[in-house]
Amino acid sequence: MKILVCLKQVPHADARLDVRPDGSWIQEENIKFEINSYDTYALEEALRIKDAGGAEVVVASIGPDRVTQALRTALGMGADRAIHVKDPEAEGSDALGVAKILAAVAKAESPDVVLMGLMADDGNFAAVGPMLAELIGVPHTTTALKLEKANGTFTVQRELEGGALEVVKLGAPCLITVQTGTNQVRYASLKGIMAAKKKPIETRTVADLGLAGQVGAGAAKVRVEKIYPPPKGEGAEILKGSTDEVVAKLMGKIKELGLL
């Protein structure tokens, strides 16, 4: 069994998000990055399949140098190999461009199952998974909260609205996108981190993957005109003052609502 897990490195959940002066994206200098939360759950699912019955877990990520850190973490957690698509030509790809790159990686690896995050915490597109499944011609399902594998078939509980679940079965090869909260994600152990130092991170360029000119900003079908802080509406009345003053005002309001 071979499992490909696609990981994106995204700004840390507590990072300060400042928009670049030209509005094209956020300023990425001097902020911390981490593995996309959804992808950590996907990786944990892959590692559990490996722990339960043996599997080779390959992680792949597209991004600049900093992505090495994310791949090292994944190897430290127990992944076997890492593929880093590192190429300025890949930058500015839209979701379809990202999916095309990952499809080239997947075709070369022929995994039995591809595990992804439902969406990335930066762009919130939730697009790359189903697109990749289409490009490599395998069935997919999204928003998995529980995965069970028996005889090459996955039984997936996918999350619907309001806490309802849908049970779906699909056979390998297939692609599954994972929702947060699916499991308790492990930390890389010290031993794991040491072992990871000997594990390979293979790099690929867009040309290596046969995609020169087909991905990146130039080929993107979606252009970000600009990003900006959401316009402020009327919003809340903001209480000012010391903690004591603020608490006194909150108390006044709660009494006024007849709740005290």
Partner 1 sequence: MGSILLVAELQKGKIREATYELVSFARKLAEGTGRQVHSLVLGASAGGPAEELAKRGGGQVHLAEDASLEHYQLDPFLKVVQAAVDAASPDVVLLSNTPTGWDLAPRLAAARDAAFVSDCFDLQVQGESLVFLRRLFNGKLDARMVPTLPVVATMQPGATAAFEGSSQGQVSKLDAGLAGVESRTEFVEVREAEKKGVDLTKASIIVSGGRSLGGPEKFQEVIKPLADALGGAMGASRPVVDAGWLPHAYQVGSSGQVVSPKLYIAAGISGAIQHLVGMKSSNYIIAINKDPDAPIFEVADLGVVADLFEVVPALTKAVKEAKA
Ligand X SMILES: Cc1cc2nc3c(=O)[nH]c(=O)nc-3n(C[C@H](O)[C@H](O)[C@H](O)COP(=O)(O)OP(=O)(O)OC[C@H]3O[C@@H](n4cnc5c(N)ncnc54)[C@H](O)[C@@H]3O)c2cc1C
The least CB distance from residue 243 to ligand X, in Å, is 12
The least CB distance from residue 11 to partner 1, in Å, is 8
Closest CA to 114 of 19, 184, 159, 49: 49
Nearer to ligand AMP, 126 or 170 (CB): 126
The least CB distance from residue 143 to partner 1, in Å, is 6
Site for ligand AMP, residues 91 to 110, rule: CB under 6 A: 95, 98
Which residue from 80, 91, 109, 122 is in contact with partner 1, where contact means CB under 8 A?
A: 122
Residues 6+ apart with CB under 8 A from 4: 58, 59, 60, 105, 106, 109, 111, 113, 114, 115
Binding mask 39-68 vs ligand AMP (x if CB under 6 A, - otherwise)? Answer: x--------------------xxxx-----
21: preceding bond cis by omega (within 30 degrees): no
Residue 98's binding partner among partner 1, ligand X, ligand AMP, none (Cβ under 5 to 8 angstroms by kind) is: ligand AMP
The least CB distance from residue 208 to partner 1, in Å, is 22
Alpha-helical runs (H) found in 78-162? 95-109, 128-136
Say if CB 175 and CB 132 are below 8 A apart. Answer: yes
Site for partner 1, residues 237 to 256, rule: CB under 8 A: 237-239, 243-244, 246-248, 250-251, 253-255
Closest CA to 122 of 142, 98, 102, 146: 98
Say if CB 139 and CB 78 are below 8 A apart. Answer: no
Any contact of residue 218 with partner 1 (CB under 8 A)?
A: no
* Cα–Cα distance measured from residue 138 to residue 211, given in angstroms and rounded to the nearest whole number: 21
Which residue from 13, 52, 257, 259 is in contact with ligand X, where contact means CB under 6 A?
A: 13
Any contact of residue 117 with ligand AMP (CB under 6 A)?
A: yes
Residue 29's binding partner among ligand AMP, ligand X, partner 1, none (Cβ under 5 to 8 angstroms by kind) is: none
Residues 6+ apart with CB under 8 A from 188: 73, 76, 77, 196
Say if CB 115 and CB 46 are below 8 A apart. Answer: yes
Site for partner 1, residues 21 to 40, rule: CB under 8 A: 26, 37
Residue 160's binding partner among ligand AMP, partner 1, ligand X, none (Cβ under 5 to 8 angstroms by kind) is: partner 1
Task: Kindly list the residues in this chain that would bind ligand X in the complex (CB under 6 A).
Answer: 13, 119
